[in-house]
Amino acid sequence: MPGYQDYGAIMERLGKHKLGKSCLYVNKLSDIDLNVLEELITAGLKDLDKIWTVHPE
């Protein structure tokens, strides 16, 4: 992902985490909402697909 600056609304709901430039740090999966993580990944892939076509394997 190119960063998280465009995902503020999703990140607020994620749970306990830290961010690097393009890194998401989570200590325990139980610290975050996995459904929100799925939403974040989906949104990121949709945005990347606008720049580079993403082909799931």
Tens digits of per-residue pLDDT, 3-57?
787 899 999 999 999 998 889 999 999 999 999 999 999 998 888 888 888 676 7
pLDDT of residue 21: 81
22-56 burial, b for 16+ CB within 10 Å, e for fewer? eebeeeeeeebeeeebebbeeebeeeeeeeeeeee
pLDDT of residue 45: 85
Q: Where are the domains of the chain?
A: 8-51
From the CB of residue 12, how many other CB atoms can be counted at a distance below 10 Å? 9
